Structures are given as C-alpha cells and as structure tokens.
Structure 1
Amino acid sequence: MPDLWMPGAEIHDLGDHAPTDQQYPPKAIAHITWDRNATATAPQDWCTFDDLVNYFTTSGAGSAPHLIWDPFSGRVAQLFPADSRSKSVVDSPGGTRTNRAGRVVIQIEAVFFPYCRKDGVVYPRLVDTPCAGWDRLHAWISSWGVPDTWPMGHPTDFTSHRNEQVWETQGGWYAHAHVPENDHTDPGSWPDFTAPTSAPVPSEDDMPLTDADVDRVAQRVVYLLAQASAGQPPNGADDNLTWLINWYHQCSQSSMGAVLDYKLGAAGVASLAQKIDAAPAAVAQALASGITLTVNTNPKGA
C-alpha cells in the first residue's frame, strides 16, 4: 500500500477523516490559494506558506485540502491522509460528492496568486515560479494510481470546463475550474507532469540521489531479489527496502528515479550503502546469478 502521508511533508493532521467513494476512479484536484487580487500593474506581496498552514489548520479548516504546497521552497504540509476526503471544493446536497468521488481525491493548494511578488520578482502564473518540489509531490500522488491525464484539459487560463459525467467516470487530474457544483476558476496553470523543476539548493538531508547512489540501491535490490528467489528471507530488510522491492515491480522505468529520490532521501541511501558495504561478497554472488535490474540512473527522471 502506498504511504498515507507524503514522505517529507510537514504533518498537521486535522483528524475528521472520512472515506471516499471507492466505485469512482482516483483523482487529484489542483488549486491555488488566491489570497489577494493583484494585477500586472499592481502586484502584491506573496502570502507565506506558514500563514496559509496557520489558516487551514485554524479558521480555514472547513475548506482544508490534503496538501499545501509552497512552489518557491518546495515545502509541503499535509492535513489529511490520502485515503480520506478533504474539504477544498463545494459539495452541494443531492449531486455528485465532489470531495469524495474517487478511490482517492487528493487536493493540492499551491500557495500562489496571479501577479504575486516575492523577493522583488513578480510571477503572473504558477508555472512561472520555480515549482520546487513538484516532482516529489507528483510522484507521491502517482503512487496512489492517479493517472497523468487531465480529462477536462490541462489548465492554461481561468475559464471553467465542467462535466459531471466526465468527473465521475474518468480518473486523473482536475483543476478546481473543472469540478462540478463549484464556481472557482483556478489554478489558471499547472506544471507539466514531465517538466524538469528548478529548486533552491537542497540541504544535505534532502540532496537528490547521484548516479552512484542509484547504482548502489540497484545492487541492493538485486541482492534481495536473489535471496527471495532462493526462498530466503531478506536479512535485515527494513521498511524502505520492502517498499523499494514492491515499487520496482509497480513503477514505470521513467518514474523510478523520482520515486527513489522522494522515498529514500540521503539518509535512506546512506543506510542502504552501509548494508551493501557490509556484504560485498553476497552482492557479487547475486549479480553473478544472472538476475538483472534496469534502473533509470537520472535521479530526477529528467
């Protein structure tokens, strides 16, 4: 089962969990917080991530999403687990249950409004920001089976396109402007699924995997698969390793780099490296057994 809480997210569990409607396909809903009304001739200062976290965990809890995403720093706060509904779209009595119509309905609020000004730079659209952390956020949502498609079209402006039949029957990504029973027109833009992202220099604990790190992880996976094929339980396999084996079978090669990156991080890679270094003979024997593994050695999948 994928992680209920996004690895690396700042957890602010609101409680009040409630199930989604499992008969519908999995979805994600893209929002922007749109805190202020700015224009090209009158930009306004960006509202901070911490301000929005404070709002959605106090007076704004009644409209809280699963995730609050800072596209400038990459910080993410999570308020509900993936298998619960959240509350960021209007759900009118008697119609489709907009917050629940999917095996998951994961809602993301990007902390952004058009023509916000941060550090002296004005950003007309969300996609004009660094979109830091988008790769990790996207990888986690993909792990819940949300397909990389926009059934009502990739948002490129602030116009509405709503169809309840499409909403109920097709999984994928939806803009708030696409959700039935709602009148909001955000987010106006959203990063591409495969677009590379630029980000601030990460801290040591958040460094992306190097090619050498990925090779070492691959060797460890080969070793564990060799043990499993011989009917031997993996010695000392921790949760990260068990997860990695499962995802080796389930993830496409194009996404493996991002999945390894967001799940393991530098600390996880160091732990794996220690295990590999402690058993070089076993690793060599596993590699010699003929079991092969292809891994995308670009950690960001770019």
Structure 2
Amino acid sequence: MPDLWLPGAEIHDLGDHAPTDQQYPPKAIAHITWDRNATAAAPQDWCTFDDLVGYFTGSGAGNAPHLVWDPFSGRTAQLFPADSRSKSLLSPPESPTRTNRAGRVVIQIEAVFFPYCRYGGAVYPRLVDTPCLGWDRLHAWIASWGVPDLWPMGRPTDFSDHRDEGVWETRGGWYAHAHVPFNDHSDPGSWPDFTTVPTIPPPHQHPVPPPEPAPARYQVTINGLPYGYDARGYQVTAVGRGLVSQGFGGHYHSGPGPTWTDADTENYADYQRSLGYAGQDADGVPGEGSLRRLLGYVPGPRTVSTAHVVAAARTDPGAEQGHRTYGSEAAIVEQALADEGLLEQRWVDGSFGSRTVAAYAAWQRRCGYSDSDADGIPGPESLHRLGAARGFTVTD
C-alpha cells in the first residue's frame, strides 16, 4: 500500500477522517489558495505558507484540503491521509456525487499562490511561472495512489471553467477546481506539467532556502507510556500543557491535545535546547530526565491507589513546597480536578498540596458531602466517582 502521508510533508492531522466512495476512479484536484486579489498593475505581497497552514488548521478547517503546497520553497503540509476525503469542494445535496469523496482517492492540493503575487521582489502572474519546487515529489506520491497523468477535461491554462458530470463520474485523473461539477471556483488557472519540472528560479528572484528537515517521527516508552509522533493518551496532554506553562507552546496552532503531533515535537525540542541539550538529544522526543524536569514527575498508567492518594493528601501540604509523595498518581487526580474546573492547570504538578486539597474538598461537596466528609482527603467513593467521570481506574 502506498504511504498514507506524503514523505517529508509537515503533518498537521486534523482528524475527522472519512472514507471515499470507492465506485469512482481515483482523482487529484488542483487548487490555488487565491487569498488576495491582485492585478498586473497592482501586484500584492504573497501570503505565507505558515499563514495558510494556520488558517486551514484553525478557522478554515472546514474547507481544508489534503495538502498545502508552497511552490517557492517546496514545503508541503498534509492535513488528511490519502485514503480520507478532505473538504475543499462544494458538495451540495443536488450533486449526484459527494464531490469530496468521488473516487478511490480524491487528493486535493492547494498551492499557496494567487495571480500577480509578489515574492522576493519578483511578480508571478501564473502558478507555472513560480519555481514549482517540490512538485516532482508531490506528483510522484499522488501517482503512487493510482491517479493517472491525465486531465480528462483539459489541463488548465486560464480561469475559464468547464464542468461535465459524466466525465467526472467515469474518468480518473487530474481535475482543476474549475472542472468539478456543482462548484463555482475557476482556479487554478495553470498547473505544472507532469514531465517538465522547473528547477531553476526565474531571473531577479532572491534565492529560496531549502526546506527545514522534518521533525523526528519515532516513539519512546517511559514508565509504560508512549511519547513521540502519534503517541496518544493523557500523558501527551500533560506534556503539552507543561510546555505551554513553561513558555514553549509557540508551534501549536490549536491544543495541546491527547495525540502527539509535529507541533509537540517542535515545542519539546525548544524545551530540550533550553536545558542545554543539542543534536539528537534535542530532537523533540522526550527522555526521562527532561520529562521529569518539565512536569516534576513521570506520568504512569492511569491507575490510582486510594491509599497512595490519601497518603499524598495527608503528607504533601505540610512538607517542603513541591513535595511529591506519589507524584504520578497525584497528578492524575489533579488533572481530573482541573478538567472539572476545580483546580488551576498550573497546580497540576504531582504535589497534593493545599490547593489540591481545597479542590478535592470542592469535588466532595459537588458529590453531596459536607462538613468533615468534605475535608479534601479522598475517600473511596468520591475517588471512584472522579475516576469514572475522567477516565482513570481506582484501586484500594
């Protein structure tokens, strides 16, 4: 099976994957972002790749393609795997096909470009006038999914549209947005050829730096839990929140969340460098030492001993500031209290101190306890209720 994710692309998985309609032939759809209206007489500065990725991973997620492609540097971001539909096409109820799904694959590419954009001091009327860096890699990956090197309605050469439902339903290949039935856009206006790939920038363009290396994409296991790309679980959220609280959240467009993405790796690499690590020791995948320094404890499986939590609640408040009797288990309870809105996130640190005791007392009152039964020292019944509400297991 071909790669679901374009090798070398920056991965910003939006989730919300959905299958395509396999009875139709495979397709690729060519778009340009066309985020500004410029003319030959009034060119405008190019809108950056990072800005467009930020849009599609934020407020524009409902219109997101599979791929965002920067033809000036070759950088590419992928938002959906190849076997999922994406969301850049109109698909009204009157359409005979679900246009975003009408193929064994329906891979949609948004080139970060608008006509007469100005980049590096030069003005580019058409997409094909740009260097089209990265096109050969992108094209080869799409071809690996069985999309033939054909334009069933003609390769786009201008901004006129042509839509034919019969061709759309029966022929695989490349389609301009201007070719898709029941859509009203007329982009992309031009598209690079399948065989001729520009490799030399046009005159008067400043040199374009090569794309940065892709973030590390491997996992490690620490105390029974995974970390690194595509790791999932509460510990990933805990790391992300810890990074944000320490001022290392600059790569997040949303989140942090329970699935480890490239943004987590990049933020963690910034944190590692702040500790003096370098090279492979600062590749953004945690080690036990840096993880403990970030969180103050090492997360463990989501199982909490009532006896341990009670001991922490009785010991930590009177001990030295930040003392952790059972840090990983206390942190699970603290995070649950924070998720219930009873404890500030910054106090989720594994130390069952006075603020955590007060938050737990508030939870006990929420459960209907009062007076000495709401003293902030966990009891089995209230702890089981918190575990059931927030997804952790309680043992005696």
* 2:99 match: secondary structure: coil
Residue 104 of structure 2 corresponds to which residue in structure 1? 103
Residue 77 of structure 2 corresponds to which residue in structure 1? 77
Residue 49 of structure 1 corresponds to which residue in structure 2? 49
Residue 88 of structure 1 corresponds to which residue in structure 2? 88
Give the aligned length.
206
2:118 and 2:46 map into 1 onto residues whose CA distance is: 5
What amino acid does structure 1 have at the position aligned with 2:98? R
Asked whether the 8 Å contact 1:135–1:197 carries over to 2, the reply is no
Higher relative contact order (Cα pairs below 8 Å, separated by 6+ residues)? 1
1:6 and 1:36 map into 2 onto residues whose CA distance is: 28
Alignment CA distance shift 1:203-1:172 (3 Å): closer
Residue 66 of structure 2 corresponds to which residue in structure 1? 66
Residue 19 of structure 2 corresponds to which residue in structure 1? 19
1:156 and 1:139 map into 2 onto residues whose CA distance is: 22
Alignment CA distance shift 1:18-1:204 (3 Å): closer
What amino acid does structure 2 have at the position aligned with 1:45? D
* 2:28 match: secondary structure: strand
For residue 203 of structure 1, report the CA deviation from its aligned partner.
Answer: 6.9
Residue 167 of structure 1 corresponds to which residue in structure 2? 168
For residue 201 of structure 1, report the CA deviation from its aligned partner.
Answer: 6.4
Asked whether the 8 Å contact 2:73–2:210 carries over to 1, the reply is no
Asked whether the 8 Å contact 2:75–2:211 carries over to 1, the reply is no
Residue 197 of structure 1 corresponds to which residue in structure 2? 198
1:20 and 1:193 map into 2 onto residues whose CA distance is: 25
For residue 34 of structure 1, report the CA deviation from its aligned partner.
Answer: 0.1
* 2:29 match: secondary structure: strand
* 1:99 match: secondary structure: helix
TM-score by length of 1: 0.67
Residue 4 of structure 2 corresponds to which residue in structure 1? 4
Instruction: Encode CA deviations 1:84-129: one digit per residue, 9 max, x unaligned.
Output: 0000010001421100000000000000000000111000000000
TM-score by length of 2: 0.51
Residue 115 of structure 1 corresponds to which residue in structure 2? 116
What amino acid does structure 2 have at the position aligned with 1:76? T
Instruction: Encode CA deviations 1:141-196: one digit per residue, 9 max, x unaligned.
Output: 00000000000000000000100110010000000000001010000000000012
* 1:59 match: secondary structure: coil
- Is 1:34 matched with 2:34? yes
> What is the correspondence of 1:83-232 to structure 2 with a 5 Å cutoff?
83-95=83-95, 96-198=97-199, 200=208, 202=210
Asked whether the 8 Å contact 1:31–1:110 carries over to 2, the reply is yes
Instruction: Encode CA deviations 1:188-215: one digit per residue, 9 max, x unaligned.
Output: 0000000122165647979xxxxxxxxx
Asked whether the 8 Å contact 1:13–1:80 carries over to 2, the reply is yes
What amino acid does structure 2 have at the position aligned with 1:60? G
2:35 and 2:209 map into 1 onto residues whose CA distance is: 27
Instruction: Encode CA deviations 1:42-68: one digit per residue, 9 max, x unaligned.
Output: 000000000000000000000000000
Asked whether the 8 Å contact 1:20–1:103 carries over to 2, the reply is yes
Residue 297 of structure 1 corresponds to which residue in structure 2? none
1:75 and 1:40 map into 2 onto residues whose CA distance is: 26
* 1:29 match: secondary structure: strand
1:56 and 1:137 map into 2 onto residues whose CA distance is: 19
* 1:102 match: secondary structure: coil
1:98 and 1:55 map into 2 onto residues whose CA distance is: 22
User: Deviation above 4 Å: which 4+ runs of structure 1?
Assistant: 199-206
Asked whether the 8 Å contact 2:47–2:112 carries over to 1, the reply is yes
- Which ranges of structure 2 fall in alignment gaps of 5 or more residues? 201-207, 215-396
Asked whether the 8 Å contact 1:67–1:108 carries over to 2, the reply is yes
Residue 266 of structure 1 corresponds to which residue in structure 2? none
1:116 and 1:90 map into 2 onto residues whose CA distance is: 26
Asked whether the 8 Å contact 1:92–1:181 carries over to 2, the reply is yes
* 2:114 match: secondary structure: coil
* 2:65 match: secondary structure: coil
For residue 78 of structure 1, report the CA deviation from its aligned partner.
Answer: 0.1
* 2:13 match: secondary structure: coil
Alignment CA distance shift 1:201-1:38 (3 Å): closer
2:128 and 2:2 map into 1 onto residues whose CA distance is: 28
1:16 and 1:204 map into 2 onto residues whose CA distance is: 28
Alignment CA distance shift 1:202-1:50 (3 Å): closer
